[in-house]
Amino acid sequence: MERIIMLADCQSFYASVEKAAHPEYQNQPVAVAGDPERRSGIILAACPIAKQHGVTTAETLGEALGKCPQLVIVKPRMQAYIDVSLMITEIYESFTDLVEPFSIDEQFLDVTGSVAYFGSAEEIARRIQNKIMLYTGVWSRIGISSTKVLAKMATDIWAKKSESGIFTLPKSAVETQLWPQPVSKMFGVGSRMTAHFQRLGIFTIGDLARMPLVELKRKMRVLMGRNSDIQAELYWQTANGIDGSPVKPSTHNGQQAVGHQMTLPRDFSSRAEIDVVLLELSEEVSRRCRAKGYMGQVVAAGAQGADFDKPTGFFRQTTLADPTNITREVFEAARKLFDTHWDQMPVRKLGVTLSKLSSDDQYQLTLFGNRERVRRLERMTDQIKYRYGNTAILRASSLLDAAQARERSVKIGGHYK
């Protein structure tokens, strides 16, 4: 039996949540942006009315206000968006237990076994739309097909532009409906890859799909290097609608690493300032590992400069003698990586990652030092933070000017909660 897969996408998600929370904004152009008080930052989401005025996601707030002076700017509330996203997930799960998050506002659903109970795929999609609108005030668009990749393109290319917000792309219609589309509209193809394809004489999805795979690999090797074979096959399969991956609710549960990175408010040139942030990152990564019962044996650290035209920085890793989730041990490993690889250029982004994870219910004792005492102390500080907030107890270094912990404690994903 052919699968019935949906990709449900929430329209202008952050802006839609804000308009639902503020009925007075209903007929006004609304955008969610970084810092309305300072009139700075970028547009994170714009409602359809704002988009009609030319406002686009990722442009600066100044550019958006130049196009639409009457634009209502709302400060992001990330926790509210997460709460609404979880509520929408529960709605999906009332129709099928096969729900796989793709992003905060997009999720895959396999409703193959649900049509016997709720009607056709289109009827299920309409019921989902109505229920989400009733419970959250957010409009959703739904693409339907037999594979995840086709459902995604059905949403992006057609459902988002359809008045009903629903579009079905059967596998039998790939050649007639999908192939004539510009290659830039294919899932996974950005502006840079579009330019590469056009150099190869590939202008439509059909051009890519009809090209023999061997020939595509040969051409991409010439253009992009010999390591492009896997990428070529992925693009070729996408163009032909081939995707055997199932909708798996557990897709994101098998954690391979725990990492945290931070964009700094300014360039950091001093090693003392960098060490302050590295310690905070190491503590956050270690705390998250402890909360999940993990230790890691591979520590990675990286930095990136602010000039993207002349990129500087590094990302390197080192293997520890024994797995750990102790903050000081992770920090010392990250610090040694900086000693070896930092080019002394100013940095704007820092990151620390702990990988090669294992359970922390068994660990290596040492003859020197008292790791168990340190573990007990860190568990106690974790409990204090869990109960009273991340700033209830801080290291003295987190009170320095370079520290970011207090500022980050009121944010989720770099945006205010």
Radius of gyration from C-alpha coordinates of the chain: 24
Maximum mean pLDDT: which of 85-89, 254-258, 398-402 = 85-89
pLDDT at 201 over 90: yes
pLDDT at 385 over 60: yes
pLDDT at 7 over 90: yes
243 is in an annotated binding site: no
List the structure tokens of 392: 């209830």
Please give the CATH architecture assigned to the domain spanning 179-239. Answer: Orthogonal Bundle (1.10)
Q: DSSP for 55-120?
A: --TTSBHHHHHHH-TTPEEE---HHHHHHHHHHHHHHHHTT-S-EEEEETTEEEEE-TTTHHHH-S
For 244-274, the pLDDT digits (tens) are 999 998 655 567 889 998 888 899 999 999 9
Site of tokens 């090693």: 271
Q: How far is CA 362 from the centre of its chain?
A: 32
Strands (E) across 337-413 are located at: 347-359, 411-412
What pLDDT, on a 0 to 100 scale, did the predictor assign at position 300? 95
Mean pLDDT on 206-217: 96
Distance CA 291, CA 337 (A): 25
**How does residue 406 score in pLDDT terms, banded at 50, 70 and 90?**
confident
Distance CA 188, CA 177 (A): 18
What pLDDT, on a 0 to 100 scale, did the predictor assign at position 250? 65
Question: Across all residues in the chain, what is the average pLDDT?
Answer: 91
For 275-285, the pLDDT digits (tens) are 999 999 999 99
For 353-362, the pLDDT digits (tens) are 999 999 888 7
Distance CA 295, CA 152 (A): 36
Contacts of 414 (CB under 8 A, 6+ apart): 263
CB 64 within 8 A of CB 85: no
CB 152 within 8 A of CB 144: no
Q: At what angle do helices 78-93 and 121-136 cross, to 10 degrees?
A: 140
| DSSP three-state, residue 349 | strand
**What distance, in Å, lies between the first and last C-alpha atoms of the chain?**
44
State which amino acid sits at residue 116.
A
Question: Does 1-170 carry CATH code 3.30.70.270?
Answer: yes
Contacts of 214 (CB under 8 A, 6+ apart): none
pLDDT at 324 over 70: yes
Give this prediction's pTM: 0.74
Domain ranges (residues) in the chain = 1-170, 179-239, 257-416
**How does residue 307 score in pLDDT terms, banded at 50, 70 and 90?**
confident
List the structure tokens of 343: 């080019």
Distance CA 203, CA 96 (A): 38
Query: Above pLDDT 90, what percent of the chain?
Result: 72
Q: Which residues are known catalytic residues?
A: 106
Report the topology of domain 257-416: Dna Ligase; domain 1 (3.30.1490)
| DSSP three-state, residue 203 | coil
9 is in an annotated binding site: yes
